[in-house]
A and B are shown apart, each in its own frame.
Chain A
Amino acid sequence: AQKITQTQPGMFVQEKEAVTLDCTYDTSDQSYGLFWYKQPSSGEMIFLIYQGSYDEQNATEGRYSLNFQKARKSANLVISASQLGDSAMYFCAMRETYFGNEKLTFGTGTRLTIIP
């Protein structure tokens, strides 16, 4: 069974600093996908970034980048130049796909608070 581990329940970061949110995963599949979602206090789940297991380059989306270390089974999210609006819960997720069946397995999340 797949498993996602986020070891940081909460983090406090000064505005404009970079922040790294940790995520490690466990799977025996060769093909998988890793996602990060943001959940603000309003509750919605916002897709941030995706990394495929066969992607050779680390994914980037604006201020978000994914530090993918396959051998270590880690997929850390890096947010550069943090902003007050980045305060939210962040979830790492892994996609399991087989014969058209698909599900996401989520970690427990990290609550990020940006301090002015």
Chain B
Amino acid sequence: DSGVTQTPKHLITATGQRVTLRCSPRSGDLSVYWYQQSLDQGLQFLIQYYNGEERAKGNILERFSAQQFPDLHSELNLSSLELGDSALYFCASSAGQGGDTQYFGPGTRLTVL
């Protein structure tokens, strides 16, 4: 158990819908990262937050947004969902704003029908 929690574990929804994925980092960690794992794209970095502020940004679609709240939990919002958004979404956390090991949560498996 990495100490990172993600909810829900599974999510099934329809095209065009909007969903919110939630992540709680390990106790004391200030950075949260979101990654997408799909069959065709592999594991891809989406976005990093540090202590509530957006930091690094990867291949995150405009339909996707994220935020980190004062209690350091983070949410990833996916809107206007398409079939291709079906994937495993991971949250990871690390202690500082760079240079520390990232520990991953169990992931949220999103299926768009």
In the complex, the answer to whether A101 meets B104 with C-beta atoms within 8 Å is: no
* Chain B CB within 8 A of A90 CB: no
Q: Which A residues are CB-close (under 8 A) to B104?
A: 37, 44-47
Q: How many A-B contacts if CB must be within 8 Å?
A: 66
* Chain A CB within 8 A of B109 CB: yes
Complex-state Cα separation, A101 to B105, whole angstroms: 20
Could you mark each residue 29-68 of chain A with 1 if its beta carbon is under 8 Å from any beta carbon of chain B, else 0?
0000101010000011111001000000000000000000
State which residues 73-100 of A face B: CB under 8 Å: 91, 93, 95, 97-98, 100
The one of B2, B48, B88, B97 in contact with A47, judged by C-beta atoms closer than 8 angstroms, is B2
* Chain B CB within 8 A of A103 CB: yes
Q: Which A residues are CB-close (under 8 A) to B97?
A: 100-102
Q: How far is the CB of B101 from chain A (nearest CB, A)?
A: 6
* Chain B CB within 8 A of A5 CB: no
- With contacts A100-B50, A100-B55 taken as known, whether A44 is within 8 angstroms of B106 at the C-beta atoms is yes
* Chain A CB within 8 A of B31 CB: yes
* Chain B CB within 8 A of A11 CB: no
Q: Which B residues are CB-close (under 8 A) to A109?
A: 42-43
In the complex, the answer to whether B106 meets A104 with C-beta atoms within 8 Å is: no
In the complex, the answer to whether A50 meets B48 with C-beta atoms within 8 Å is: no
Complex-state Cα separation, A73 to B51, whole angstroms: 34
Could you mark each residue 43-54 of chain B with 1 if its beta carbon is under 8 Å from any beta carbon of chain A, else 0?
111001010000
Q: How far is the CB of B53 from chain A (nearest CB, A)?
A: 9
Q: Which B residues are CB-close (under 8 A) to A103?
A: 33, 45, 48, 56, 58
Interface residues of A (CB under 8 A from B): 33, 35, 37, 43-47, 50, 91, 93, 95, 97-98, 100-106, 108-109
Can you give 17 A-B contacts (C-beta < 8 A)?
Answer: A43-B88, A44-B106, A46-B2, A46-B104, A47-B102, A95-B99, A98-B98, A100-B55, A100-B97, A101-B56, A103-B48, A103-B58, A104-B35, A104-B92, A104-B102, A106-B42, A109-B43
